[in-house]
Amino acid sequence: MKLQVFDNYDQVSRRAAEIVIEESRKHPQLVLGLATGSTPIGLYREMVQVYQRGQLDFSEATTFNLDEYYPITPDHPQSFRRFMQEHLFDHVNIAPERIHFLSGTAADVESECSRYEAAIEAAGGIDIQVLGIGENGHIGFNEPGTPFHLKTHKVALTENTIQANSRFFERIEDVPRHALTMGISSIMRSRKILLLASGEKKAEAIKAALQGPVTEELPASVLQLHPDVTVMVDKTAATQLEGVPYKA
Ligand code: F6R
């Protein structure tokens, strides 16, 4: 794993955007795996700004988001689909038919998960997967204890994740109790992975993911087994790492 420690969140976001943008210039048909949550907001903001300056064309890019609550309608204010529209898709020229999302309203969850895996495969696989990390080390909605071999599947959210995500909902009771998520094995098939983290709340998970044992109890630790992972953190998220100078 390559580790890059930056002074602050904006620098993490800028550098992550540079990587995505460089790749998309080299390879306009880029297949991007995307995450929601607070962490990638700065990355999406940078991408939108570069696009608005006319320095980027996403017209041939394809996207797959990692996860979606279940059940939830796509136009629900807290759906991940809506989040992506607001932070990225409404502002750049990604063709709507090349935006892929797990459906939070699918009646047959199993066939929805297989459809998604097949769509990723049909697109040629994910070139760059952007990941955040949960305070408990989850990636996507793969909570501690999730078998590494799972592909896209339905999960029950842990109390910890419901608590963390309740900040976006009016009441904690409104947070859906389930989600559909790409599995660890789906994530690990991406050619390149960018793991982003910021803030001291993530310091423990980052330490365990990078310097702890590879274990299903800390899902992000599996990334130690991937050949091309860049971990980009601000210095507050790096405070528990051993032997790391706090400089980019
Ligand atoms: C979201 C996702 C989650 C988040 C993680 C961190 O699509 O897959 O794994 O990346 O919960 O969330 P934030 O960035 O809000 O701290």
The CATH number of the domain where 161 resides is what? 3.40.50.1360
In percent, the amount of the chain with pLDDT more than 70 equals: 98
Q: How many domains does the chain have?
A: 1
Is residue 43 a part of any domain in this protein?
A: yes
Which pLDDT score, from 0 to 100, does residue 246 have? Answer: 59
Is residue 64 a part of any domain in this protein?
A: yes
Q: Which domain holds residue 19?
A: 2-200+210-230
Is residue 30 a part of any domain in this protein?
A: yes
Which pLDDT score, from 0 to 100, does residue 165 have? Answer: 87
Atom 10 (ligand 1) nearest CA: 132
Pocket residue to mutate for ligand 1, from 34, 38, 39, 101, most atoms within 8 A of Cβ? 39
Is residue 237 a part of any domain in this protein?
A: no
Average pLDDT taken over every residue of the chain: 96
Is residue 135 a part of any domain in this protein?
A: yes
**Could you read off the pLDDT of 159-169 as tens digits, one per residue?**
988 998 898 89
Is residue 167 a part of any domain in this protein?
A: yes
The torsion of the CA quartet 222, 223, 226, 229, rounded to 10 degrees, works out to 180
Whether residue 131 contacts residue 141, with contact meaning beta carbons closer than 8 Å, is answered with no
pTM score, whole prediction: 0.96
Tokens found for residue 122: 């049909």
Tokens found for residue 94: 């990604």
Atom 12 (ligand 1) nearest CA: 37
The pocket around ligand 1, CB under 6 angstroms, is made up of 35-39, 66-67, 132-134, 138-140
Tell me, yes or no, if 86 is annotated catalytic: no
**Could you read off the pLDDT of 182-239 as tens digits, one per residue?**
999 999 999 999 999 999 999 999 999 999 999 999 999 999 999 999 999 999 999 9
- Closest among 64, 223, 40, 51 to 137, alpha carbons compared: 223
CB neighbours of 61 closer than 8 A, spacing ≥ 6? Answer: 24, 28, 29, 30, 31, 32, 94, 98
Is residue 247 a part of any domain in this protein?
A: no
Is residue 92 a part of any domain in this protein?
A: yes
Tokens found for residue 169: 């909902």
DSSP three-state, residue 196:
strand
Q: From the candidates 46, 68, 112, 143, give the one annotated as an active-site residue.
A: 143
Query: Which residue blocks in 53-157 are alpha helix, DSSP H?
Result: 80-87, 109-122
Average pLDDT over residues 170-181: 95
Give whole-number Cα distances, 212 to 5, 18, 25, in Å: 18, 29, 36
Tell me, yes or no, if 138 is annotated catalytic: yes
Query: What angle do helix axes 41-52 and 80-87 make, rounded to 10 degrees?
Result: 40
Average pLDDT over residues 58-70: 98
**Could you read off the pLDDT of 13-63 as tens digits, one per residue?**
999 999 999 999 999 999 999 999 999 999 999 999 999 999 999 999 999
CA distance 143 to 241: 22
Atom 3 (ligand 1) nearest CA: 140
pLDDT higher than 50, residue 127: yes
